[in-house]
Amino acid sequence: MFFYGTLCHVPLLARVLDRAETDLVLTPARLADHAVRWVEGESFPAIHPAPGAVAEGLCLEDVGPEARARLDYYEGGYGYALAAVTVETAAGPRAAQVYLPRGPAPQTGAAWNLAEWQAHWGEIATLAADEVMLGYPGRDPAVNARRYRMILARAAARIRAREPAPATLRRPTRPGDIQELARSQPYANFFAVEEYDFRHRRFDGAWSPAVNRAAFFSADAATVLPYDPARDAVLLIEQFRVGPYGRGDSECWSIEAIAGLIDPGETPETTVRREAVEEAGITLGTLHRVYGYYPSPGAKTEFIYSFVAEADLPEGSGGLGGLAAEDEDIRAHVVPLARAMDLIETGEIGNAPLILSLLWLARNRERLRPSP
């Protein structure tokens, strides 16, 4: 089989095949009269006929039925099918099969560059392959294609989670402290649920019994509370939320900080600056890191990065906003900080990231305000 794009990244190919990298027999190869280009707005390429061009890639030898089935599954949601081709190798022409689009080719842009992709996307895409292949063989591959950006976002979250964190009071996590016995993904759509059977070291040094736990997967998120130091005012947003609705809350419109999921390839800082424009139409100044935290670590993998941002909030700021493409209906309010603190006390603000950000701002307000 001839690979021309992301599957030329050997760690990714090994994850898809569930084999060790050292077990893969790969040969450099070239497919004439074809070009590989980035798909517009995506993190992967597409191949298309192009007289005189050459597609560089790799040939995988000894593709058995199980390997073929796993590859078909991984590629299956994108409308690709195998086609017979002849490729050139150092040993001469070879018959091979390659995944080609069955329908109209997607819109493409610049020439594909494997090294560039590996530097920015290689590790994220390799981790994403783990989640994609959790659905093999029972889940429809089209589901993976539909939710691939969320899969990438969760993979990026796993990479951020590896950053060293302090453990001065809590027990430090050491290699081998957790033994995973089984992992499955019984539900996957925009969000996902994973189940684990595992055991872990107890505080007394013994092993726990095998336990089963489930975790709700979204992606990491970032929030920002815009603050105008000159006016001592903050910008709050209001929108309908399905969480209160599902709980049966008497009030289903929520007062919050500007927030959004961190897209794959973004930093939390980039996310909040983008969301401030989308949700409230404002440009943020200096960002101040508030906290990073798990809102519900017993059940959710989500990690939130919260910021307070200096911003100019003149009279008339606020109004309606949100992305129509995401069915957002958002109203922004600019209120004095004192009013926002009162709304915490009355319970009208019941959103944890906003409460944390307001409490942080109340504590740090004087150093952010201009000198009299």
**258 DSSP β-pair partners:** 224
Contact between 161 and 153 (Cβ < 8 Å)? no
Report how many helices (DSSP H) and strands (DSSP E) the chain contains, helices first: 10, 17
Query: Using CB atoms within 10 A of its CB, is residue 224 exposed (0-12), middle (13-18) or buried (19+)?
Result: buried
Q: What string of DSSP letters covers 238-250?
A: EEE-HHHHHHT-S
- To the query of whether residue 326 is one of the catalytic residues in this protein, the response is yes
Q: Look up residue 105 and give its two tokens.
A: 């080719």
Task: Compute the distance between CA of residue 19 and CA of residue 34 in angstroms, rounded to an integer.
Answer: 29
Distance from the Cα of residue 69 to its chain's centroid: 27
Cβ–Cβ under 8 Å, residues 321 and 279: yes
Of 202, 327, 331, 317, nearest in space to 256 by CA? 331
Catalytic residue among 163, 315, 326, 345: 326
CA separation, residue 214 to residues 76, 177, 181, 187, 194 (Å): 28, 19, 14, 11, 6
Q: How many Cβ atoms sit within 10 Å of the Cβ of residue 257?
A: 29
Q: Which residues are catalytic?
A: 326
